[in-house]
Structure 1
Amino acid sequence: MTRPAPGAISSPMRRSILKAGLLGALAAAASLPAAAAGLETFRGKARPVVVFAPAPDAPQAMDQLKRLRADREGLESRDMPVFVVGRKRVTTLAGGSAPATLDASSLREAYGVGDDAFAVVLVGKDGGEKLRSSEPLGVGRLFEVVDEMPMRRREMR
């Protein structure tokens, strides 16, 4: 039986190292849309809710924004800024200008949402997509997903 050379990596250890590298690569890939879309400034600080609206008066968009406005306090306590992505510009839930780093076409491209589509995307503090829907979501559902996140659980302690 041959022994490995001093300092050599055993097969089980090599598999562990490869697995850790793969998990790290997957985590990085999960946050690529956020980085590509200008949301990286929120990483570690906030959980953006991105509402893609084909038009400001689109029924689904109006419904979603009404639901979100109903619990601004809950959104704030969970660090959940809301951005509304129109065809050409990005605004906040209150209708104000979004940070200059957010560009409508970049967000649509990064998250694969066409100009004529409605979608809601929840992005975690790690930059990864946590929830997506093509139908309006209740704030309870959004809060449920956020409140189950390990980082949020630590925040609530």
Structure 2
Amino acid sequence: MNAQDLLKHQWEDRVLLLIAHNTNTPKFQNQLKTLQNQEKNLKDRKLVIYQITPSYYCQGVFSEENKWTKRPELYQKMKTNDNTFEVILIGLDGGEKLRQNELLTIDKLFAIIDGMPMRRAKTENKN
């Protein structure tokens, strides 16, 4: 996988990248736990999640049998600092909407997504 592969989600899905040197770090594990109980809400917001390490990546957080693929390119392209943990939110338009080194709370994630113009339009059309 490379950054080009993320383009397949443009205008279809929002993308949340969970980037860590090691998936066993407390921040990474806590972020996964935060997201795992939100499957319905994440799908409703058209959010696809990638777990990314220096050598491997996988899509999703809801299965113990996630298929990890060996490819370091995405980590090298997306990682911007020396922190051991990073979260990046990419909008439907392919633009970066959030980048942080701390645990992303569900409230903050949903507030950002729900404030996006396309999400607001979808919500207004439902009512």
Q: TM-score range by the shorter chain?
A: 0.7 to 0.9
1:123 corresponds in structure 2 to 90
**Deviation, structure 1 residue 87:** 2.0
C-alpha root-mean-square deviation of aligned residues, in Å?
Answer: 2.2
Q: Distance in 2 between matches of 1:40 and 1:82?
A: 14
Question: What letter corresponds to residue 39 of structure 2 in structure 1?
Answer: R
Q: Which residue of 2 aligns with 1:36?
A: 3
CA contact (8 A) 2:79 2:86 kept: no
Alpha-carbon distance, 1:115 to partner: 7.9
Aligned-partner Cα distance in 2 for 1:38–1:75? 20
1:155 to 94, 119, 122: 122
- Does 2:38 match 1:68? no
- Which of 44, 67, 77 is equivalent to 1:97? 67
For these two proteins, the number of residue pairs brought into alignment is 120
Q: How does 1:7-86 map to 2 (within 5 A)?
A: 36-86=3-53
**In structure 2, what residue type is equivalent to 1:139?**
I
Unaligned runs of 5+ in 1: 1-34
Larger strand proportion of the pair: 2
Q: TM-score, normalised by structure 1?
A: 0.68
CA distance in 2, matches of 1:77, 1:93: 16
Distance 2:73 2:4 in 1: 5
TM-score of the superposed pair, with normalisation by structure 2: 0.83
Structure with bigger helix share is: 1
- Whether the aligned pair in 2 keeps the contact of 1:52 and 1:113 (CA below 8 Å) is no
- Rate the CA distance shift 1:107–1:136 in 2: closer, same or farther, 3 A: same
**Matched residue, 2:113:** 146
Q: Which runs of 4+ in 1 moved over 4 A?
A: none
Cross-structure match for 2:101: 134
**Any gaps of 5 or more consecutive residues in structure 2?**
none
Q: How far is 1:36 from its partner? A: 3.2
Amino acid at match of 1:105: P
Instruction: Measure, in 2, the Cα distance between the counterparts of 1:58 and 1:104.
Output: 20
Residues 53 and 119, structure 1, Cα contact 8 Å, conserved in 2? yes
